[in-house]
Amino acid sequence: MTTSKTIGQASSALPLAEPERLVIASRESRLALWQANHIRDALLALYPQCRVEILGMITRGDQILDRTLSKVGGKGLFVKELETALADGRADLAVNSLKDVPMGMPEGFVLTAIGEREDPRDALVCPGFDGLAALPGGSVVGTSSLRREAMLRTRFPSLQVKPLRGNLDTRLAKLDRGEYTGIVLAAAGLKRLGLGERIRSLIEPEDSLPAPGQGALGIEIAAGRPGLAAWLAPLHHLPTALAVEAERGLARALGGSCQIPLAAYADWITPASGVSAQLRLRAAVGFPDGRRRLDAQGAAELPLDAASASAARALGERLGADLLGRGAAEIVAQLS
């Protein structure tokens, strides 16, 4: 059974005693371990006397590399083993790229903190060419994402789009061996690993809307641990959390499946400081072959407090309903 839960419901009041030991569950890819160490360093800065350890794990999503995620069970394959470690007490928290966290949280787990977002854009890694428009017809471009595939086929129909699985280093190695002319990846992962120089061009949201949660880190814990949630509360970045609440609200309205090429990106079009600000949400859904695409956009003025999570989610649900009413229901039905 799955249920949606508001992101970042942790109390801001710290428990009287600081934690003595915290264990972070993480996938063992280099990027995942960077993310886990990033949270570890933040926790040590808050609680210098705490022992913070990382439990590295290999998930099914890491093991199945010969098929696309949409055909083998979706993004949940990257988090199931981590959630098992949370449930049986081997770990206290799990750190994931939020775009890899399923839209429906399993019963007994909660996203308790969202880290400040890195660059949410897609990036082209492509030696010798300055951008997608510069690629010759017939060039092979790799991506693991149906969303990116739909974007490429819609905007650049002369390119060959082929699946690309594996962790970040594996994907770059396939490019370097000449299996692809270029590959499209999340800019955030490249920048976090110090590989920003490999980015040939950044793809603006106007040309390739990001996935829901792209660039943000989600911290998941077992439900019913208020003390742990309070310890993690200082890591919660409210502007990012409200933005991704809107994105994930829209994704849930459309079924939240990785079988659907779905983009949703919320940004603050007035500064996210002071009493309130305007949150803009843009979304798109279509077929992977690019033959049809629907777009939607909306905005809401939100007070900058945790209580605004429901209003941010409602913005996403409203745009999701608009897309469903204009034909997205047919797209979702055919792809699901």
Catalytic center residues: 100
Amino acid present at 312: A
Instruction: Find residue 182's DSSP bridge partners.
Output: 141
Count Cβ neighbours within 10 Å for each residue of 311-322 and write b for 16 or more, e otherwise. bbbebbbbbbeb
Buried/exposed 244-255: b ≥16 CB within 10 Å, e otherwise: bbbbbbbbbbbb
What one-letter code names the amino acid at 277?
A: A
Exposed/middle/buried for 25, CB within 10 Å: 0-12, 13-18, 19+? buried
> What are the b/e assignments for 259-280, b being 16+ CB within 10 Å?
bbbbbbbbbbeeebeeeebebb
What size, in residues, is the chain? 336
Q: Give, for 80, the enclosing helix (H) or strand (E).
A: helix 80-87
Q: How many Å apart are CA 66 and CA 108, to the nearest integer? A: 32
In a 13 Å sphere around the CA of 321, the CA atoms on its Cβ side amount to 6
Q: How far apart are CA 267 and CA 278, in angstroms?
A: 9
Report the candidate in 97, 243, 93, 72 with the shortest Cα–Cα distance to residue 165: 72
* Closest listed residue to residue 24, CA positions, set 78, 80, 96: 96
Joined together, the tokens standing for residue 9 give 């419901």
